[in-house]
Structure 1
C-alpha cells in the first residue's frame, strides 16, 4: 500500500471518528449536560486511554483551566475519574467506556438532584401549610379551606411522584433495569 493511500484511509477513518465524537457531544444535550462535556467524553473515549488536561486542551483548543472545570463536572456526574499513570506526575483522566453505564450514571445523577430539590421543597411547603393552619386556626373561609386542601392534595401527589422517580433511579442504579431491558435481547456477543 502506498503512503498516499494510507494517508487517505487514515483521513477517512479520522472523519468517521470525529463524527462519532460529535454525536456523543450532541447526545449529551439530551441529558441536560453541556456539549463540552460530551466532546471531552468522546475524545477520551475514542483515545482509548487516560488523557491529561494538557492533552485535552491541545485536542480541543480550550484552556487547561476550562478543561479542569469540565473534568470536575464529569467526575461529579460519575462519568470520569482520575487515574494514576505510572511514570507521570500529571493527573490523567479516564471516562466510562460503557455507553449503558454512562447513560445510567447521567440519568441517575441528574434525577437524584431533581428528587432532592423537589422533595425538600415539598417538605418546606407542607410545613408552611401547617404553620398557616396553626396561625389562623378557625379563621379559614370556605374558599381558603378548599384552597389549602387542594394544595395539600397537590403536595401529596408531588411527593408520590418524586418518590416514584427515586425508586426508578434505584432500579437503574441497581442494574435491575438490565434484567427487564437487556442490552442485547437476542444474546449476541459484543465485539469489543
Structure 2
C-alpha cells in the first residue's frame, strides 16, 4: 500500500515538473529550464549541479548552462550552506514573484533591443531628412516613418514603465494576491 502511494506521489510530482517545463514556453524559455525549475522546486531545498545532473540525466556542463540561464532570469540563485563546498542553488518558491521575474526578464531584453533599434532608425531618418534634394513623396515618407518611430519608442517606454510596475510590486495594490 505504501509503495503504491509513493508511486502515485512520484507521478503527481512528475506531472507538476512537466507543467513547469511546458509553462516556460509561454515566456519563450526552453522547457529544459522549466524542467530543472520544477525539479528544484519539488526538492524544496538547495541542490548542487551534481544533484541536478543526477536528477535530470543531463551532463554537469549542460546543467551549469541551464542554472546560469535560470540565474539570469532571476528564478534561481546561489545559496551558502555552512560546511558545503560545492555551489548550491535554489529557486524562487513564490509563484507571483517567479511570474514577475520571468515576465519582466523576458520583456526587458525585447524592450532594450527595440528601444536601441528605434533610436538608431530615428537618427538615420533624421540624417536622411537633412538632404536638400528630397522630392515631396520621399519627404512625406520620411515624416511618416519618423512619426511611426516616435510611436514605437513611446510604446517601448510604456512597456519599460509597465515592467517597473510589476518589479516594484505595485501591481499587487491593484490586483491583490
TM-score (ref. length: structure 1): 0.90
Q: Indicate the residue corresponding to 1:187 in structure 2.
A: none
Residue 42 (structure 1) shift: 0.4
Measure the CA separation in 2 of the matches of 1:13 and 1:133: 67
Q: Indicate the residue corresponding to 2:62 in structure 1.
A: 66
What are the ranges of 5 or more consecutive residues in structure 2 without an aligned counterpart? none
Q: Indicate the residue corresponding to 2:165 in structure 1.
A: 171
Where do residues 36-185 of structure 1 align in structure 2 (5 Å cutoff)? 36-134=32-130, 136-137=131-132, 139-183=133-177
> Root-mean-square deviation (CA), in Å?
0.8
Measure the CA separation in 2 of the matches of 1:141 and 1:121: 26
Structure 1 or 2, whichever has the larger Rg, is: 1
Residues 143-177 of structure 1 deviation map (CA, whole Å, 9 limit, x = unaligned): 10110011011001101110110111011001011
The list of structure 1 runs, each at least 4 consecutive aligned residues, that deviate by more than 6 angstroms after superposition, is none
Residues 51-89 of structure 1 deviation map (CA, whole Å, 9 limit, x = unaligned): 010110011111000000011111011110111122111
Q: How many residues align?
A: 177
Measure the CA separation in 2 of the matches of 1:86 and 1:66: 26
SS at match of 1:93: strand
TM-score (ref. length: structure 2): 0.98
Q: Indicate the residue corresponding to 1:188 in structure 2.
A: none
What are the ranges of 5 or more consecutive residues in structure 1 without an aligned counterpart? 184-192
